[in-house]
Amino acid sequence: MLSPLDNVSKRSDAEGRGPAEWLEDAIARDPVLGRLLPQLRRLAANASPALIFGEPGTGAELVARAIHDLSRRAGHPFVVIDCASLSEPLIEAELLGVDGSSESRPPHKMGTFEQAGVGTVLLAEVGELPPRLQDACLQLLERREVVRLNSDAPVPANARCLAATSIDLRARVAAGLFREDLHARLAAELLTLPPLRERPEDIPALAHHFLEQCCAHLGPRELGPEAEELLQRYRWPGNLRELRETVEEAALQARNGRIGPEHFPEQMRRAPESGPLSSLRDVEMRHIERVLQEARGNQRRASRILGISRWSLSRRLRKYGMQTHSED
């Protein structure tokens, strides 16, 4: 059985591809990444913290990885901790590490910044960081050192810190839910990722890229013109993640090799061509509702589709006052 800590994503260049090869593939996957390249190179040239803002599914981790791979830290680890996927005690243990020198204590564990060495740490969904850990994070960034749990001895923290959020941290600061000084420290360099609905011209290229990946094991598939038009008309509340999953599902259904509108979900075919802009909260609520409907109320399956833990999904359902569904 997987432990909750398996939700922490740890990736390095040991994956088998070098930085240049990985970045070339990333740009092919998302044209907006190529347009952001000059800004990414500028961010990669310094060591200060940076904040990446974008709706869920817009590719914040992809962008953070690109910044890492364009920097002089590229040969060192790139480590991700998802602040929305773990409970407060687990985040604390991941962030700070645990001194297990005593037999009565938990096993020794290196913290995220120790693991990264002189590489890069990404604090994904940093807006979900509990207040007490916001204090610890600020001290870590200011002192460039970390003190493990059950220890008084500081350990150097030389990794660069990148943070990503899908919520407006300024609003959380105004509400007293996020430290203003930590926000200022992280947002000294701010990069905003546009949602997919604001760049419909990129959708065909992205859809064909995802389709090519499917063809490797499904056989030849092509998008009909009506299907492309529908993809561009839809507003994509789940952004890139939703587009990829939609294309993959359509490819599975199109056994004759040609994808048409009939291979997409009914609510997508019925979606209006345009409408008033919605708040990020409304977008996320609608997307969670749609995924739960498609998962027939199964929270385990829905959390996998959303790319979050069941604990994080349950917390969002409570936060939005949404009716909980069966996890069977």
pLDDT for 280 equals 65
- Cα separation, 291 vs 272, in Å, equals 19
Burial class (CB in 10 A: 0-12, 13-18, 19+), 35: middle
Taking every pair of Cα atoms in the chain, the longest distance, rounded to a whole number of angstroms, is 66
Q: What is the pTM of this model?
A: 0.70
pLDDT for 138 equals 92
pLDDT for 14 equals 35
pLDDT for 276 equals 46
Which domains, and CATH codes, for the chain? 4-192 (3.40.50.300), 196-319 (1.10.8.60)
pLDDT for 29 equals 65
CB contact set of 161 (below 8 Å; sequence gap of 6+): 49, 113, 120, 121, 123, 141, 186
Give the amino acid at 72: R
- Cα separation, 254 vs 219, in Å, equals 11
pLDDT for 159 equals 92
Averages of pLDDT over each 10 residues, the chain, 328 residues? 32 44 62 80 92 89 90 93 88 84 63 91 93 91 86 85 92 92 93 88 86 80 89 87 89 87 84 52 76 78 76 76 55
Q: Look up residue 64 and give its two tokens.
A: 């953070």
pLDDT for 72 equals 93
Give the amino acid at 251: A
Pick from 62, 82, 64, 76: nearest CA to 8: 82
Strands of the sheet containing 120-124, edge to edge, are 10-11, 78-82, 120-124, 160-165, 50-53, 190-192
Element housing 209 (H / E): helix 203-218
pLDDT for 275 equals 45
